[in-house]
């Protein structure tokens, strides 16, 4: 405010200077500021600048990273879906037999799309290989721990995603309850998992990703899915983990899972 | 500091205001596109994976 006053004051002063001032004893310039007050002014400006920078950082983190990541996620889903073969138009028959085999892709590449109807019918995010921050997680993707099983296969399909910022795919992780569907679509199948349980763990507890979660070394007999994300919000102290089990799969040539019916035109 | 910048801007008041807004936009763009992404990994508020050295 004082800056602006000074500025406007200056102009006022200049305008007056152009006219000859004949009044005697009139001071032409404002009194000079002392050294102390100048230093205080500079420090004040620096502090205000720091405050504004911090505010901008929060705006960037909370809002802008979402904008960028969501744009990239949507573009990737569209691009990936355009590579898929023609699929069935309608609700596909749930299959409980042996699902098709999946093959791994290069790090950072999308190989599946994820749907969670409990988070909204329009909720969908691409799944890419690897959990690298710069290329996968911060790019709006859900990341696949490549050392874990591929979707639909025996063992544990391990995924990580942001819970806040960068598109925050797993924002609703604490709203999932047992029985909710986690649907993963690959080029070969729709896999419908049912949420079974959740857990809050310390960041080093990697055995949640074991083929049989929490029992490393045990031979898997089930087809599991595990989601990991941060907990609490805006903290790195713990991780929120959700477990699920494969319920059935659907052949894309036959159709799509029943739960996705309302958005059938979008997911086809 | 800001007073100096303001006085260095040329033109009438309206032009100066526009130039100042442009300067602000440029600074925000540099921060959003390069500075913040570069320092964010060093601010531990965002870790989603297990096995991270949290």
DSSP per position, A64-112: IHHHHHHHHHHHHHHHHHTTSPP--SSBPPPB-SPPPP-----TT-EEE
A227 CB neighbours in chain B (<8 A) are none
Q: Is A179 on the interface with B (CB under 8 A)?
A: no
- Asked if the bond preceding A107 is cis, omega within 30° of 0, the reply is no
Check residues A34 and A267 and name the one with the higher pLDDT: A34
Contact A224, A155 (CB under 8 A): yes
Distances (CA, A) of A251 to A93, A94, A95, A188, A225: 8, 8, 8, 7, 19
- pLDDT of A9 > 70? The answer is no
Q: Quick check: B50 and A208 CB within 8 A? A: yes
Tell me the percentage of chain A whose pLDDT exceeds 70.
Answer: 86
Could you identify the residue written with the tokens 């205080």? A40
The residues, any chain, with a CB within 8 Å of residue A28's CB and separated by 6 or more, are: A13, A16, A17, A21
* Per-residue pLDDT, B1: 78
Q: What is the mean pLDDT of chain A?
A: 88
Mean pLDDT, residues A97-115: 95
A164 CB neighbours in chain B (<8 A) are 46
* Per-residue pLDDT, B54: 30
Q: What is the mean pLDDT of chain B?
A: 87
- pLDDT of A208 > 80? The answer is yes
> The pTM is what?
0.82
Check residues A7 and A95 and name the one with the higher pLDDT: A95
* Per-residue pLDDT, B53: 36
Question: Which range among A69-73, A86-90, A98-102, B2-6 shows the weakest confidence by mean pLDDT?
Answer: A86-90
Check residues A86 and A18 and name the one with the higher pLDDT: A86
The residues, any chain, with a CB within 8 Å of residue A99's CB and separated by 6 or more, are: A152, A153, A189, A191, A223, A246, A249
């Amino acid at each position: 405010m004082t800056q602006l006053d000074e500025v406007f004051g200056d102009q006022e002063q200049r305008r007056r200077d152009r006219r000859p001032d004949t009044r005697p004893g009139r001071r032409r310039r404002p009194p000079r500021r002392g050294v102390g007050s100048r230093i205080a002014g500079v420090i004040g400006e620096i502090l205000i600048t720091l405050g504004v920078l911090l505010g901008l950082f929060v705006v960037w983190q909370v809002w802008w990273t979402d904008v960028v990541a969501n744009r990239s996620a949507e573009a990737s889903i569209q691009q990936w879906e355009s590579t898929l073969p023609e699929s069935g138009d309608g609700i596909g028959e749930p299959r409980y037999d042996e699902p098709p085999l999946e093959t791994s892709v290069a790090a950072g590449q999308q190989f599946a799309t994820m749907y969670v109807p409990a988070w909204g019918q329009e909720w969908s995010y691409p799944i890419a290989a690897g959990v690298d921050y710069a290329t996968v997680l911060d790019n709006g993707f859900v990341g696949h721990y490549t050392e874990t099983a591929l979707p639909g296969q025996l063992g544990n399909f391990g995924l990580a995603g942001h819970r806040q910022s960068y598109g925050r795919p797993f924002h609703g992780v604490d709203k999932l309850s047992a029985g909710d569907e986690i649907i993963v679509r690959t080029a070969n199948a729709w896999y419908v998992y049912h949420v079974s349980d959740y857990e809050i763990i310390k960041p080093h507890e990697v055995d949640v990703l074991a083929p049989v979660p929490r029992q490393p070394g045990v031979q898997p007999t089930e087809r599991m899915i595990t989601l990991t994300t941060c907990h609490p919000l805006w903290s790195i102290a713990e991780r929120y983990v959700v477990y699920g089990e494969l319920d059935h799969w659907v052949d894309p040539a036959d159709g799509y899972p029943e739960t996705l019916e309302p958005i059938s035109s979008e997911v086809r | 500091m800001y007073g100096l910048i303001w006085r260095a801007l040329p033109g009438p008041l309206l032009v100066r205001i526009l130039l100042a807004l442009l300067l602000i936009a440029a600074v925000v763009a540099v921060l959003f596109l390069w500075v913040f992404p570069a320092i964010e990994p060093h601010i531990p508020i965002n870790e989603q994976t297990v096995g991270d050295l949290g």
